[in-house]
Amino acid sequence: MALNLQAASLLQSAAAMHKDVKACGSMKETSLFGAPIGGKFEPVSSLELRRRKVAVSPIRAQTAATTPAVTNSKPESKKTARKGNVIITGASSGLGLATAKALSETGEWHVIMACRNFLKAERAAKSVGMAKENYTIMHLDLASLDSVRQFVDSYKKSGRPLDVLVCNAAVYLPTAKEPTYTAEGFELSVGTNHLGHFLLARLLLDDLKESDYPSKRLIIVGSITGNTNTLAGNVPPKANLGDLRGLAGGLNGVASSPMIDGGEFDGAKAYKDSKVCNMLTMQEFHRRYHEETGVTFASLYPGCIAETGLFREHIPLFRLLFPPFQKYITKGYVSEEEAGLRLAQVVSDPSLTKSGVYWSWNKNSASFENQLSEEASDPEKARKVWEVSEKLVGLA
């Protein structure tokens, strides 16, 4: 759930409210928060989705010069009669739940809802009308590496094939004055959003590789706020991993800083930094494993979901003003339902099999390859983040 979009510096009337306001939108410099000024947003209706079954949208190429070389997965002639199996982390609310609903409604997917709270996930699935035969709930706490390993072990023992993994869950603590930590002692935002997902994806890669599904994919949700080549990404505090000294030190606040760059703790920046790690990780997966495994690796920014549980830790005035600001001022507002359709498209659309891509959508809900910032597409930094992360999660 990658939407800590800060609008304080762009909305003067809200500047006194809080310095951390979450900005949204596309990567184009001619837009404000990703929506062309004065442009009309035209969402796809859920009725149309049911008719199209997460239909293909036109793709407009806008590949960055700094992004890794991308390749199209080879078309596979083999077909499977079974449903596809997709794991979605953080599927009990927000973007994860909307995506689970969209995929389950097609009748072509079985969704594994990987969540911390089993009862919350069950209530959520029922509340949106998901048919019981289309989903399974499994416990996963990304803030505990032991929980990640237990989840992977349980999934493997189930004998269920794995066709798509969606790393979606996120922690966002913009008002936190002091850091909190995971079970292993990592700063919570980076420990959950990046390290937990990094271990999960690494441990499930062989399962994805062995899938006989027509298209197997690993998707990591990114964020515009981690891309400093955008207006939203330049709202302070900006993402910056520095020389990774804090990450290398374990982010524990004792032997090292709790921040990746070694600086003072900032909850909003910690989230943004974790999203840079997510996008770097996707590209490193692509470089290391796409050709060998045939797995499509992708990231995306589904748009500004101004009304989402991701903002539950923000101040009340922000939660009150941010949705109408996005709807009527920036025109960048995207509903949870629409964002869920977009992520579902990256999961299932036969046209979106290009690996190493960061997907975005224009005001007409058409998907296109977007440009990552210099830091978020730096292959050397991606390699270093990968190697340090391997050590922290016990894989090296």
Q: Domains, the chain, ranges and CATH?
A: 84-393 (3.40.50.720)
Q: What is the pLDDT of residue 314?
A: 57
pLDDT, residue 234, reads 73
Statement: the pTM of the whole predicted model exceeds 0.75: yes
Q: Which of 135, 155, 213, 271 is catalytic?
A: 271
The arithmetic mean of pLDDT across residues 373-389, rounded, is: 96
Is the pLDDT score of 202 beyond 90?
Answer: yes
Name which residue leads in pLDDT, 241 or 304: 241
Helix (H, G, I), strand (E, B) or coil at 89: strand
- Give kind and range of the element (H or E) at residue 282: helix 267-293
- The pLDDT score that the predictor gives to residue 125 is 97
**What is the average per-residue pLDDT within 94-120?**
97
Tally: H helices and E strands in the chain: 12, 12
Q: What's the mean pLDDT in 258-264? A: 96
Could you identify the residue written with the tokens 């207006």? 231
Q: Does the structure show a pLDDT above 60 at 10?
A: no
Question: What is the predicted pLDDT for the residue at 223?
Answer: 86
Cα within 13 Å of Cα(8), Cβ side: 19
pLDDT band at 226 (very low <50, low <70, confident <90, very high): confident
Give the burial string for 118-137 (b: 16+ CB within 10 Å, else e): eeebbebbeeeebeeebbbb
What single-letter DSSP state applies at residue 62? Answer: -
Known catalytic residue at 155: no
306, pLDDT greater than 60: no
Average pLDDT over residues 86-90: 98
Cβ neighbours for 189, distance < 8 A, ≥ 6 positions apart: 171, 172, 173, 267, 270, 271, 273, 274
The reported pLDDT for the residue numbered 364 is 82
Query: 62 or 243, which is more confident?
Result: 243
Q: Which residue has the higher pLDDT, 318 or 176?
A: 176
- Predicted local confidence at residue 261, as pLDDT: 97
- Mean pLDDT across the chain, nearest whole number? 80
Section 233-260 average pLDDT: 91
Quickly state the pLDDT bin for 354 (edges 50, 70, 90): very high
Helix axes 267-293, 379-392, angle to 10 degrees: 100
- Residue 375 pLDDT greater than 50, yes or no: yes
- Rounded to 5°, the CA angle 151-156-97 comes to 50
β partners of residue 299: 220, 358
pLDDT at 309: 55
Separation of first and last alpha carbons in the chain:
28
Give buried/exposed letters for 298-334 (b at 16+ CB in 10 A, else e).
bbbbbbbbbbbbbbeebeeebeebbbebbeebbbbbb
Given a cut of 90, whether residue 109 has pLDDT beyond it is yes
Three-state secondary structure call for residue 328: helix
The helix (run of H) or strand (run of E) holding residue 70 is: none
Pick the range with the lowest mean pLDDT from 142-151, 224-233, 372-381.
Answer: 224-233
